[in-house]
Amino acid sequence: MARPDLTEVRTPQILDAFARCVARYGLEGASLEQIAEEAGMKRSILRHYVGNREDLVVALAGRVVERYREDLEELMSALPGAGAKRVEALLDYLFTTERWEPSVENVVADTLLSAVDRYPEVGEIMKGFMEELFEVYEGLLRDGYPKAERAKVKAVAYGVVSLSFTHEWMMPMGMPAGYGRSAKGAAKVLVGSLAT
């Protein structure tokens, strides 16, 4: 005997609008009013469904990793081949320089990462995802190179993640394409070391 609960609908709308604002104006650069307008709502609604700025930031971190998780899952099920071929496909995917375009998601993630000191909860959330990411890559590498020793696989997984992240945050600065090749080259060296 009441109106339906729109929390599940409004919250993502709000957070996505907030994400766009963060990409455009920075984490504290947009007023709640602007964010509300971006979401096509009144400011009071942000408060109603999420809360004040701090609440928004923490919730945004949750949303971002949620989407990254989905992307990761999708990627894993979309990767062709098996064993070492699958690893190769991953590298091709990660280090494509051609059709690169700045994504709101990545900018937001970088921004949040640079703010973990100020928002400990955000740090916890990001950390959780990072650990998951490392594990997934590690598993992929183990499948590809089952005879490689465990610690080395860990190191290579870390390296590949590191290279792809660096690649992502350097692109917006307009670094020459040569660096993209270097990134992929380094990743290949790392992965190749597992074959010996």
Partner DNA sequence: TGGTTGATTGTCGCTATTGACAATTTATGA
Partner DNA sequence: TCATAAATTGTCAATAGCGACAATCAACCA
Q: Which residues bind DNA (CB under 7 A)?
A: 1-7, 10, 31-34, 41-45, 47-48, 52-53
Name which position in 7, 44, 96, 166 contacts a copy of itself (CB under 8 A): 166
Residues ≥6 apart with Cβ < 8 Å to 42: 36
The answer to whether the beta carbons of residues 36 and 46 sit under 8 Å apart is yes
- The candidate with the shortest Cα–Cα distance to 22, out of 103, 101, 99, is 103
101 binds a copy of itself (CB under 8 A): no
The residues in 107-136 that bind a copy of itself, with binding defined as CB under 8 A, are: 107, 110-111, 113-118, 123-124, 126-127, 130-131, 134
- Picked from a copy of itself, DNA, none, the partner binding residue 101 (CB below 5 to 8 A depending on kind) is none
Q: How far is CA 73 from CA 17, 26, 143, in A?
A: 24, 29, 17
Name the minimum Å distance from CB 56 to DNA.
10
- Picked from a copy of itself, DNA, none, the partner binding residue 43 (CB below 5 to 8 A depending on kind) is DNA
Name which position in 102, 135, 146, 177 contacts a copy of itself (CB under 8 A): 102
Residue matched to tokens 């907030």: 18
For residue 89 the two structure tokens come to 């496909």
State the DSSP string of 15-76.
HHHHHHHHHHH-TTTS-HHHHHHHHTS-HHHHHHHT-SHHHHHHHHHHHHHHHHHHHHHHHH
The residues in 39-68 that bind a copy of itself, with binding defined as CB under 8 A, are: none
Query: Is the Cβ of residue 46 or residue 87 nearer to DNA in the bound state?
Result: 46
Query: Is the Cβ of residue 8 or residue 117 nearer to a copy of itself in the bound state?
Result: 117
- Residues in the site for a copy of itself, rule: CB under 8 A? 23-29, 102, 107, 110-111, 113-118, 123-124, 126-127, 130-131, 134, 151-152, 154-159, 161-163, 165-167, 169-170, 172-175, 178-179, 181-183, 185-186, 189-190, 192-193
